[in-house]
Amino acid sequence: MLDTLPETEKNQRRLIALLVMQQHLMLLLVKHHEYYDLLMRYEPLVLLCYLAVSY
């Protein structure tokens, strides 16, 4: 759903936060591969946000 919103810094941070908060649920549902795929899909975004914050 957040994929449809404009790519603002605030929306990107929301997306990353939601992805991280899903970890326990995905593991309990035994959806390891699906969660890994999501992590890999958004890895460039996470790195971009991390680099923006660290400077």
Tell me the DSSP string of 1-55: -GGGS---HHHHHHHHHHHHHTHHHHHHTT-HHHHHHHHHHHHHHHHHHHHHHH-
pTM of the shown model: 0.66
**Is pLDDT larger for residue 55 or for residue 15?**
15
Nearest C-alpha neighbor of 23 from the set 13, 34, 10, 12 = 34
Amino acid 18: pLDDT: 86
What is the residue whose two structure tokens read 């958004």?
42
Amino acid 7: pLDDT: 82
> Encoding tokens for residue 18?
């939601």
**Is pLDDT larger for residue 54 or for residue 42?**
42
Does pLDDT of 55 surpass 60?
Answer: no
pLDDT digits (tens, 9 = 90+) for 11-46: 888 888 888 888 888 888 999 899 889 889 888 888
